[in-house]
């Protein structure tokens, strides 16, 4: 784990003259700060709104995943009421702690298919294809191979040429699994899905066992704060926590008339400060807060800024737009009550205490088990050719996308593409926030998650004025409107989720998995296979927002917020490096890709700074 972060006061921090100021000490921000500060001639300051929390049980213990959500280490964002979800608002957890969301997530470590990253390059973002990113994926990670017995028993495959061996994040296969995992691969095989033995090597299609961001030596979460800041004694690196950035300070060049980032204003306690950046300000605040900070700084849609009482400096209507998120629904099944179930630890204090003692003594047992049974499939695997063609025709007609964006989305429906359009995860335990069984009935449950990977629903995130017309403030949560299932594109998402729910039901009713399943509990088996109302009333986010500060590609500022070097259009010495720069959503959990983006972003900063 990371050493104790050296203490620095806000006054001391603001008085230092940094070459680079990094806004956000989360997943991407700590990567960027660590890589830049490897060069002793460069001084780096990091500003993080959350606290520095070291060795927090609910962060470090794998089996405690989810326990920090909704607590003090979570920003606790919410969406606006969503008409496509029957007027519901959704919780949007994001990490408010050093390490960001990498401290809160469920530790899944996977990559999208080659075609997903190549699509970024096809949009004109030179240097962002699969071959360009692979070295940075590998640079971020150290893969620890499983032993032979574990490999054979749990089907733990990997491509040795595609994984990193000397990066900060420790990744590994688990050594213990839910009882249902032994049935997962054979069940998907019975439905003509093959085990993918190279699922991080450029194609994620098929069935496979997931890799985790867990250090097998200590059996603890490996995340940005524990892995990228092991050497906090670097004199050229300062980290200030519990400090809220209010805006990037911009000045206009007298000679060129260009806007230039010169530093960052922030609030610590009850005091306001400004810190100077001699070379660059780098925003790494994530898909929710990076656009918020740009808008508070005067960069964004001039109408939105004017309504929020912010002086317009760069009019770019793309800031905060292009929001894309993975959409998830959870089907619940009653299963054999004799099987060990993670819900036992929630209902039985003695079982929870025994699991805790076992983990502390031997680093084994229930608190080492995570969700690992995964499958990514194209729609053509379970939809008829006519159905897929109908969806493709609808996708081709959507006018809310640019022609090049629309062409890529349309091509994803090609049966020959073999892309993971839907993700399925199966695990014992009830994962649904909407299904609340009677704990006294003695029944046990399992969950089949379905997660839409290439959504057409596209929303936005923007600042809004405070009460009574008070100008927007960094302390005010931005308005998050994903527009789930809205408009013609959203209707495609809803239609595909209905088909995907039918196949989820089929998966769990297929042997050998069906041997441990008694009945579908939610939606009730009596509902048959009419899933539309259930999907509308229970869909939630899989917490994978991207795109709100997207790379513009060949269309430049007409289509995006940053160029292919992640420089903000119209402002010198200002970059964004995080998931918000992704122009198109990918078929994968985002964690590994965000690390790769940060590694590549830091590399580009050093190239542009001419540091060897």
pLDDT of residue 441: 87
Known binder of ligand: residue 544?
A: yes
- String of b and e for 570-608 (b: at least 16 CB within 10 Å)? ebebbbbbbbbbbbbbbbbbbbbbbbbbbbbbbebbbee
Q: Which pair of tokens denotes residue 180?
A: 């249902």
Q: Is 101 annotated as a binding residue?
A: yes
| Cα–Cα distance measured from residue 95 to residue 285, given in angstroms and rounded to the nearest whole number | 10
255 Cβ neighbours under 8 A, 6+ residues apart: none
CATH code of domain 10-55+234-320+547-609: 3.50.50.60
Q: Check the annotation: does 75 bind a ligand.
A: no
Q: In this predicted structure, what is the pLDDT of residue 231?
A: 60
Divide the 612 residues of the chain into consecutive groups of 10 and give the mean pLDDT of each group: 71 96 98 96 97 91 94 97 98 96 95 97 97 98 95 94 97 96 98 97 97 97 92 84 98 88 97 98 98 98 96 97 98 96 90 96 96 96 94 87 86 89 97 91 95 97 87 94 96 97 98 97 90 97 97 95 98 98 98 98 95 64
The per-residue pLDDT for range 34-62, each reduced to its tens digit, is 999 999 999 999 999 999 998 899 999 99
* Whether the Cβ atoms of residue 141 and residue 605 lie closer than 8 Å to each other: no
Separation of alpha carbons 339 and 356, rounded Å = 19
What's the confidence (pLDDT) of residue 346?
A: 86
Rounded Cα gap, residues 449 and 374, in angstroms: 10
Q: What is the pLDDT of residue 399?
A: 81
Determine whether the annotation assigns residue 214 to a binding site.
no
Which residue ranges make up each domain of the chain?
A: 10-55+234-320+547-609
Active-site residue set:
544, 589
pLDDT digits (tens, 9 = 90+) for 492-546: 999 999 999 999 999 999 999 999 999 999 999 988 889 999 999 999 999 999 9
Q: What percent of the chain has a predicted confidence (pLDDT) above 90?
A: 88
User: What's the confidence (pLDDT) of residue 2?
Assistant: 44
pLDDT at 469: 79
* Ligand-binding site membership of 410 (annotated): no
């Amino acid at each position: 784990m990371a050493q104790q972060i050296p203490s620095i006061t806000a006054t001391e921090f603001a008085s230092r003259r940094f070459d680079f100021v990094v806004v956000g000490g989360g997943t991407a921000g700590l990567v960027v700060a660590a890589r830049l500060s490897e060069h002793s001639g460069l001084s780096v300051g990091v500003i993080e709104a959350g606290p520095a929390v070291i060795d927090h049980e609910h962060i470090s213990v794998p089996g405690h995943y989810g326990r920090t959500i909704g607590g003090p280490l979570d920003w606790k964002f919410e969406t606006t009421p969503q008409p496509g979800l029957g007027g519901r608002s959704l919780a949007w957890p994001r990490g408010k702690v050093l390490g960001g969301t990498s401290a809160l997530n469920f530790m899944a470590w996977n990559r999208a298919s080659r075609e997903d990253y190549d699509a970024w390059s096809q949009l004109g973002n030179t240097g962002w294809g699969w071959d360009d990113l692979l070295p940075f994926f590998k640079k971020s990670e150290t893969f620890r191979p499983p032993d032979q017995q574990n490999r054979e028993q749990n089907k733990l495959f990997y491509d040795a040429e595609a994984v990193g061996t000397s990066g900060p994040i420790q990744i590994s296969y688990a050594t213990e699994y839910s009882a249902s995992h032994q049935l997962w691969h054979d069940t998907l095989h019975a439905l003509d899905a093959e085990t993918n033995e190279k699922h991080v090597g450029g194609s994620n299609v098929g069935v496979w066992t997931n890799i985790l961001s867990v250090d097998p030596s200590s059996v603890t979460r490996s995340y940005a704060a524990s892995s990228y800041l092991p050497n906090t004694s670097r004199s050229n690196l300062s980290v200030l926590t519990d400090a809220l950035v209010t805006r990037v300070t911009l000045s206009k060049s007298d000679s060129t008339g260009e806007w230039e980032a010169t530093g960052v204003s922030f609030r610590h306690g009850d005091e306001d400060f400004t810190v100077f950046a001699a070379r660059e300000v780098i925003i790494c605040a994530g898909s929710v807060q990076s656009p918020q900070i740009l808008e508070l700084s005067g960069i964004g849609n001039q109408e939105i800024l004017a309504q929020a009482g912010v002086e317009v400096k760069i009019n770019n209507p793309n800031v905060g737009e292009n929001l894309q998120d993975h959409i998830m629904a959870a089907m619940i099944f009653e299963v054999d009550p004799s099987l060990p179930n993670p819900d036992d630890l929630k209902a039985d204090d003695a079982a929870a205490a025994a699991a805790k003692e076992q983990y502390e003594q031997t680093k084994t047992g229930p608190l080492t088990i995570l969700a690992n049974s995964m499958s990514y499939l194209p729609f053509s695997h379970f939809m008829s050719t006519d159905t897929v063609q109908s969806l493709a025709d609808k996708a081709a007609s959507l006018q809310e996308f640019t022609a090049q964006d629309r062409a890529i989305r349309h091509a994803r429906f090609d049966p020959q593409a073999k892309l993971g359009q839907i993700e399925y995860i199966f695990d014992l335990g009830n994962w649904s926030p909407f299904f609340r069984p009677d704990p006294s009935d003695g029944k046990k449950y399992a969950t089949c998650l379905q997660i839409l990977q290439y959504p057409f629903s596209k929303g936005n995130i923007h600042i809004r004025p405070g009460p009574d017309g008070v100008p927007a403030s960094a302390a005010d949560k931005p308005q998050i409107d994903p527009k789930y299932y809205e408009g013609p594109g959203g209707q495609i998402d809803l239609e595909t989720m209905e088909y995907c729910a039918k196949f989820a039901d089929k998966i769990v009713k297929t042997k050998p998995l069906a041997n441990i399943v008694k009945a579908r509990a939610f939606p009730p088996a009596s509902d048959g296979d009419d899933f539309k109302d259930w999907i509308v009333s229970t869909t939630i986010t899989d917490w994978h927002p991207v795109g709100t500060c997207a790379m513009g590609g060949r269309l430049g500022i007409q289509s995006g917020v940053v160029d292919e070097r992640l420089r903000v259009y119209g402002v010198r010495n200002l970059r964004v490096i995080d998931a918000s720069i992704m122009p198109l959503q990918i078929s994968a959990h985002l964690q590994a890709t965000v690390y790769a983006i940060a590694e590549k972003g830091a590399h580009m900063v050093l190239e542009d700074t001419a540091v060897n």
